[in-house]
Each structure stands twice: as structure tokens, then as C-alpha cells.
A and B are shown apart, each in its own frame.
Chain A
Amino acid sequence: MSGGVLIFVAGGARLGVPLADVTRVTLQGRLTPIPFGHRALAGLMRGDDGALVPVFDLQALGAGDDDARPRLHVDGATVAVLGTERGPVGLRLDRLLGTANRYDAHVARPAHGDDVDQEAVEDVVERHRVALSPAVRATLGGAGVPRDASASVGTAPFFFFSADAFVAAVSVVGEGGVRTSAGAPS
């Protein structure tokens, strides 16, 4: 498969996002915490273009502790701002590895609106003994292995992170029993 992929580590998982889906990669600005925010929501940031961007930390998804809150400030943290149908999503990166222009697809990315083959993802997870929390697995949309990557990217498999699936995963029924576009329990 071809098409640039940004590869990084977030929440301890080796993930990738098509470069076309990345609005920008930036240093984390000052975050403002939001009351009743989802436990993975670190805070709100003003992006370089003036837009408000909620910044999430996948580490909190895997914590298994409802009271676990992402840290507000992380020195030198890098944030990938991703576009979704519902608006921007900022993802705090543990480490930015680089880009790969060609990769072998272990699990094909589904067509828009289709579900990823979760069994195939599970197979890759098991085969490569990758530690992924169930909550993070729910945000994945395929898997691949870089073919022409730099040393920093390496040739270990990565999983496509789906920002749209992530937004859907953190959605819950909000107050009044109305399903909000992105309400969530702490």
C-alpha cells in the first residue's frame, strides 16, 4: 500500500494515521481543563489557526481506573491534530516516530463507514504480542507494516488509529437521556 502514514506512539501503542487526515502536528499549548470531561480528555487548546482543539491522552483509556485523569501539562508534549466529521481531535503523542510512504497492509483499512475486521486486528495483536487495552483497540482501523521506513519508524507493525472511531467510542448518553455528539462519563 502507498500513501504517507504518520507513525507514532500514543497510550503506549504504536499507531499510524494517514498524513491526509493530519491537520497539523504541534507542540502542546496551554491546556484548559473542562468540567465533566471524558477521562481521556486532558483539556482544551487553542490551535495555531485559532480553532479550539480538545486534546486527548490515550494513556487514560488503558488505565482501567475511572478516576485516572491525564496530566494537564506534559513537558515538550507533541499533539497531532486530526480532522473528524465532528470537528478536530488533538491526540497527545508519547513519541513521534516519523513517516512511512509504503507499507504492507496486515489488516486493510475499511471503506468509509464500514467496520474494521476486529478479528483480523486481534490476530495481529496476538501474533505480535502487542499490549493494547480494549478501549484503545476500539479505536483502531487496520494494521500495517512499514516497508520503506526510516530507522526511527522501523519495521514493526503499527495500527491505524481512527479518530472518527475514537470520537464514537468516547460518546455516551448525556444528561436528559439524549445521546450527545460527544458527552462522556468521567
Chain B
Amino acid sequence: MPRFLGFVAGPYSLAAPIGDVRQIVAVGADAHAEPEDARAQATTSLATLLGAAPRGAAQAVLAFDHGDITVRVSCCALRGVLDAAAPTPLPSTAARRHTGLVVGAIDDGDGLTLVVDARVLATLAAGGGGP
């Protein structure tokens, strides 16, 4: 059974295949601290990136690979590891931009969670497109 890392960004309940998440950088109070290493890339709010308002202070920072660099995005909450069947693809009638971002939805016992393509997410976070 596939495993996903579930996280929340603003109103969105999202998940990524667990192997596609480079690193859980911080969870809890550490998530709102600025990186001590000045060379570290700035953290992008995932909710803002998706055109929504974050809900409260960031509670987790995740890192995704984007070519030779690693992008860091902050989330409103980390839901943990989700075991679920393979995602059901979204119907093409679900009108949206960036159609490659959400590849499907899984039922994790707490409603539908949207599964994102980590590469597309990283591209958006790296400035390759946004709202």
C-alpha cells in the first residue's frame, strides 16, 4: 500500500508520496524560526504559494528536491504518514490551473486528501509559476 506524507496548507489537505519528500526540516515551534545558516534558501509559505491565506503560524517545514537545489516550504500542519490505496485521478472537469500539481485524491479515513506531484510543487516553490 502506498505511503504518503500528509500536510495542510491553508484550506488545503495535501499529501505527497513519502519518498518524494526530501526532508522534514522542522516541526512545531522550530518551524517558524528563520534558518540560522544565512546561505539557506528562504522558506516559502505553501498556502501563499497556492493562493490562500495560511492558518496560523507555520507548524512544519518540508524540503523538496528541485534539480540541483532544495526548496523549502512551510505548512500549517503536518498530518503524518498516511497509508492509502493508490490515488484516484481527478476528473478533467475539475477546472483548475496547474493541472499537473494535483494528481489525484486518496481517502485516509478523514475525508479526501489531494495528492500532489512533488516535482511540480517544487517547480512552483522555486518560482517556476504560481498564482
- Which A residues form the contact surface with B (CB < 8 A)? 30, 32-38, 40-41, 44, 46, 51-54, 72, 84, 86-89, 167, 170-172, 174-175, 180-186
> Is the beta-carbon distance between B96 and A183 smaller than 8 angstroms?
yes
Q: Does B2 contact A (CB under 8 A)?
A: no
Q: Which of B72-114 contact A (CB under 8 A)?
A: 88-102, 105, 107, 111-114
Q: Does B129 contact A (CB under 8 A)?
A: yes
26 A–B contacts from the bound complex (CB under 8 Å): A32-B111, A35-B50, A35-B98, A35-B114, A36-B50, A41-B94, A41-B95, A41-B96, A44-B112, A46-B107, A52-B91, A52-B94, A54-B91, A54-B94, A86-B92, A87-B92, A88-B91, A88-B93, A171-B95, A172-B97, A174-B99, A175-B129, A182-B93, A183-B96, A184-B96, A186-B97
- For residue A33, which residues in chain B have a CB less than 8 angstroms away from its CB? 11-12
- For residue B131, which residues in chain A have a CB less than 8 angstroms away from its CB? 36, 186
Taken together as a complex, chains A and B put the C-alpha atoms of A181 and B97 apart, in Å, by: 10
> Is the beta-carbon distance between B96 and A35 smaller than 8 angstroms?
yes
Q: Does B51 contact A (CB under 8 A)?
A: yes
Taken together as a complex, chains A and B put the C-alpha atoms of A182 and B9 apart, in Å, by: 23
- Which B residues form the contact surface with A (CB < 8 A)? 11-13, 50-52, 88-102, 105, 107, 111-114, 129, 131
Chain B facing A: main interface SS = loop
Chain A facing B: main interface SS = loop
> Is the beta-carbon distance between B107 and A38 smaller than 8 angstroms?
no
> Is the beta-carbon distance between A35 and B102 smaller than 8 angstroms?
yes
Nearest-neighbor residue (CB-CB) of B101 within chain A: A35
> Is the beta-carbon distance between B94 and A182 smaller than 8 angstroms?
yes
Taken together as a complex, chains A and B put the C-alpha atoms of A44 and B11 apart, in Å, by: 13
> Is the beta-carbon distance between A32 and B13 smaller than 8 angstroms?
yes
Taken together as a complex, chains A and B put the C-alpha atoms of A183 and B95 apart, in Å, by: 5
Taken together as a complex, chains A and B put the C-alpha atoms of A13 and B8 apart, in Å, by: 36
